[in-house]
């Protein structure tokens, strides 16, 4: 029987976390605003699912609602062509809540750009595409900034490296951005190593072009009381002993903690108490819900890759090339283990946490530990 919900589940773990599900991060928000004030372009980095996109989006959408700035967000995840870049920029431009006067002015300019519709900022490309079309769109950012300060947020920026002409596109973007010292650009992404190729290596296309802001994990002393307040609003009480195992399993990653809390909410009732037994039920619920996806992934792995994942699940503190690790999971050599590890990092199944490796999706770790799949 379906439960009757007295209020919506307050925990979000996919996409941008907003409204009541967003935990304000005062210090990071303050730094973002300081960089915005100085117009110092910024690279925002941090572990996966730590809330980089959420803190940037909430900070500047709040200001946009107060008409203190315009906030343009372009997500380049999955982009594969120059046309894709143009489409993403044009759609982001179209979403801005511009004044009617400014929109009419820019619409007239858009109509002069070959291939772009003159009836707004649509992406109906026609005829011969102008080489400078990306620059044409970026040039409008500078004009918008004259009306109201513009914050441009390029998320998943490392995805531009996947294009065959990545160097050319990145070079053209940097060239135009350098001409806009009064527009505040923020870059972010989920792959630190690839972002390093763009911003920190010699001859990198954006070398020395952005300051660095690290977004870290939320301290438990701050996060747990906030989570408890969300449960209390739904007349639910969480036993203190529940938190440490959940945070440990999530490696303190906010997005994963919120996923677990979402499941706790689903499996609990208004007026109820969430104890260790109910927490176990909630985790089993997550495992069962994702099992088919895990099986599909598992069936495509090599035997060595399966052994490696089993080892990381059962011996998280043990180095994957240590003698004990190799013997327990029956990998033939440290090179075989390293090869399997590289494959799992590339596919995103694992990520590095300090000096050890952890599952990108901690529910997969539970699935491996709880089922006889070897």
* pLDDT at residue 48 is higher than 50: yes
DSSP code per residue over 132-197: THHHHHHHHHHHHHHHS-EEEEEESGGGGGGSTTHHHHHHHHHHHHHT-TTSEEEEE-S-HHHHHH
Query: Contact at 8 Å (CB) between 199 and 43?
Result: yes
Spell 193-232 as b/e; 16+ CB within 10 A means b.
eebebbbeeeebbbeebbeebebebbeeeebbeebbebbe
pLDDT at position 226, please? Answer: 96
- For CATH 3.40.50.300, the residue range(s) in the chain are 24-214
For the domain spanning 24-214, the CATH number is: 3.40.50.300
Question: Which of 14-18, 114-118, 216-220, 313-317 is least confident?
Answer: 114-118
pLDDT at position 372, please? Answer: 55
* pLDDT (mean) for 241-249: 96
pLDDT at position 7, please? Answer: 66
pTM, two decimal places: 0.86
Backbone phi, psi, residue 264, to 5°: -60, -40
Task: State the Cα–Cα distance between residues 206 and 224, nearest whole angstrom.
Answer: 38
Block residue for tokens 């200001």 = 63
pLDDT at position 370, please? Answer: 87
* pLDDT at residue 166 is higher than 70: yes
pLDDT at position 113, please? Answer: 53
Length of the chain: 374
E strand spans, the chain:
42-45, 70-75, 150-155, 184-188, 211-214, 237-238, 273-274, 350-353, 356-359
* pLDDT at residue 358 is higher than 80: yes
pLDDT tens digits, one per residue of 8-24: 899 988 778 887 888 99
Average model confidence (pLDDT) across the chain: 89
pLDDT at position 305, please? Answer: 97
* pLDDT at residue 218 is higher than 60: yes
CA atoms within 13 A on the CB side of 159: 20
* pLDDT at residue 143 is higher than 70: yes
pLDDT at position 179, please? Answer: 93
* pLDDT (mean) for 137-164: 94
pLDDT at position 294, please? Answer: 96
Query: Contact at 8 Å (CB) between 242 and 274?
Result: yes
Question: Which of 15-29, 212-226, 289-303 is least confident?
Answer: 15-29
* pLDDT (mean) for 180-185: 96
pLDDT at position 230, please? Answer: 95
Question: Which of 27-31, 135-139, 305-309 is least confident?
Answer: 135-139
* pLDDT at residue 321 is higher than 80: yes
Backbone phi, psi, residue 275, to 5°: -115, -175
* pLDDT (mean) for 182-188: 97
pLDDT tens digits, one per residue of 196-211: 999 999 888 999 999 9
Q: By three-state DSSP, how is residue 294 classified?
A: helix
* Rounded percentage of the chain residues whose pLDDT exceeds 70: 91
* Rounded percentage of the chain residues whose pLDDT exceeds 90: 73
pLDDT tens digits, one per residue of 109-132: 665 554 455 445 444 444 435 556
* pLDDT at residue 1 is higher than 50: no
pLDDT at position 373, please? Answer: 47
pLDDT at position 119, please? Answer: 41
What's the count of helices (H) and strands (E) in the chain, helices before strands?
15, 9
């Amino acid at each position: 029987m379906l439960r009757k919900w007295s209020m919506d589940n307050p925990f979000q773990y996919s996409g941008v976390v907003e409204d009541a599900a967003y935990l304000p991060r005062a210090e990071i928000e303050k730094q973002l605003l300081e960089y915005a004030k100085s117009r110092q372009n910024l690279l925002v980095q941090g572990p996966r699912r730590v809330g980089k996109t959420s803190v940037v989006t909430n900070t500047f959408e709040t200001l946009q609602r107060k008409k203190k700035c315009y906030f343009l967000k372009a997500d380049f995840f999955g982009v594969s062509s120059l046309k894709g870049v143009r489409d993403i920029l044009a759609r982001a431009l179209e979403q801005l809540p511009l004044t009617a006067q400014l929109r009419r002015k820019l619409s007239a300019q858009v109509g002069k750009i070959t291939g772009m519709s003159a009836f707004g900022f649509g992406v109906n490309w026609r005829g011969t595409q102008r080489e400078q079309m990306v620059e044409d769109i970026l040039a409008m950012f500078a004009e918008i900034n004259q009306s109201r300060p513009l914050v441009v947020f390029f998320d998943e920026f490392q995805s531009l490296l996947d294009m065959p002409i990545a160097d050319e596109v990145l070079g053209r973007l940097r060239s135009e951005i350098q001409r806009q010292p009064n527009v505040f650009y923020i870059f972010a992404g989920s792959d630190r190593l690839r972002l390093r190729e763009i911003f920190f290596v010699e001859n990198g296309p954006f070398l020395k072009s952005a300051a660095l802001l690290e977004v870290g994990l939320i301290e438990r002393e701050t996060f747990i009381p906030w989570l408890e307040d969300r449960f209390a609003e739904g007349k639910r009480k969480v036993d203190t002993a529940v938190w440490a195992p959940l945070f440990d399993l999530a490696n303190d990653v906010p997005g994963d903690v919120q996923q677990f809390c979402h499941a706790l909410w689903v499996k609990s009732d208004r007026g109820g108490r969430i104890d260790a037994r109910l927490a176990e039920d909630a985790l089993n619920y997550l495992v069962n819900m994702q099992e088919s996806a895990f099986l599909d992934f598992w069936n495509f792995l090599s035997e060595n890759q399966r052994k490696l994942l089993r080892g990381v699940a059962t011996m998280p503190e043990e180095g994957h090339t240590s003698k004990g690790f190799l013997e327990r999971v029956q990998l033939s050599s440290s090179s075989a283990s390293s090869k399997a590890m590289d494959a799992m990092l590339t596919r995103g199944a694992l990520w590095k946490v300090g000096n050890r490796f952890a599952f990108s999706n901690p529910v997969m770790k539970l699935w491996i530990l709880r089922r006889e799949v070897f």
